A and B are shown apart, each in its own frame.
Chain A
Amino acid sequence: MEPIILKYQVDGSDFSMAGEASSSVKKTLKQLGFSPDLIRRVAIAMYEGEINMVIHADGGEATVEISQSGVRIILADHGPGIKDVALAMQEGYSTAPDEVRNLGFGAGMGLPNIKKYSDDLKVETELGVGTTLTIQINT
């Protein structure tokens, strides 16, 4: 199959909309006939990333490249950047404010969870400039 590239703007101003892009990708992968296991891993990893972009970075852009061998998700934001990536990768560490916890997120599981469900995760971040996650999930 020819690689398919999908692009989304993730709106950072409306928490209730978070997950729209992941939902759309999930439906596309289902239509393309990918395995339920791959679809779920992509959906969860991308959804966690999308939530992070809304909580921490006022949104951003999501690019999803779908090919026979798997799915690559690139999530780029223009937020504050991650001060300590090693710390952010630890389960339970979170800088999310209390209001985010009241919404059911901010348990410090986002990045660790993305890593858990992906085959490769690259985190590029610069303070004051933004963060780009490149998530690879193979078939």
Chain B
Amino acid sequence: MKLSKVCELLDAEILCCEEGLDTEVKSACGSDMMSDVLAFVKDQSILLTGLVNPQTVRTAQMMDMKCIVFVRGKRPDEAVVSLAEENGIMVMASAYRMYTACGILYANGLYSEGIDKV
């Protein structure tokens, strides 16, 4: 799925790195716990989260993720968006809640790769 489709499905606003809209992604993960993202996530390209501190960007960066979607109407501050921009990570903001946002992407074919159990 292209990030442009993700944006459309989540009715999201793009906050930076719009040039990445053509990027193809194959999986995503949703979490507010960065510890768990670092421990259990593998090769996911999108991080959906309601946590808006700079560590969401750092976590996405360490995991080579392409895009962060801030859910349930959360808005990161300028510094967080700038950090993402510096690292080429697209940032979107969606008003959907985490459960709904993940459900929409999953229902439209963005599955996690492999067996998604820890």
Interface residues of A (CB under 8 A from B): 15-16, 18-19, 22-23, 26, 36, 40, 43-44, 47-48, 51, 91, 103-110, 112-113, 116
Most buried by A among B35, B55, B61: B35
- 30 A–B pairs (Cβ distance < 8 Å), ordered by A: A15-B55, A16-B53, A16-B54, A19-B54, A19-B58, A19-B61, A19-B62, A22-B62, A23-B58, A23-B61, A23-B87, A26-B61, A26-B62, A40-B63, A44-B38, A44-B63, A47-B38, A47-B62, A103-B51, A103-B53, A104-B32, A104-B49, A104-B56, A105-B33, A105-B34, A105-B35, A107-B35, A109-B35, A110-B35, A112-B39
A-chain residues with CB within 8 Å of residue B36 when the two chains form the complex: 107, 109
**Nearest-neighbor residue (CB-CB) of A105 within chain B:** B35
A47 to B54 CA separation, bound complex (whole angstroms): 13
Complex A-B, nearest 5 residue pairs according to Cβ-Cβ distance, in ascending order: A19-B58, A107-B35, A104-B34, A43-B62, A109-B39
Additional pairs, 18, CB under 8 Å, beyond known A19-B54, A40-B64, A51-B55 = A16-B53, A18-B58, A22-B62, A26-B61, A26-B62, A36-B64, A43-B62, A44-B62, A47-B59, A104-B32, A104-B34, A104-B49, A104-B59, A105-B35, A107-B35, A109-B39, A110-B35, A116-B39
A-chain residues with CB within 8 Å of residue B51 when the two chains form the complex: 103-104
B63-93 to A contact mask, C-beta < 8 Å, 1/0:
1100000000000000100000001000000
**Nearest-neighbor residue (CB-CB) of B39 within chain A:** A109
**Nearest-neighbor residue (CB-CB) of A39 within chain B:** B64
Tell me if B62 and A106 are in contact (CB < 8 A): no
A-chain residues with CB within 8 Å of residue B63 when the two chains form the complex: 40, 44
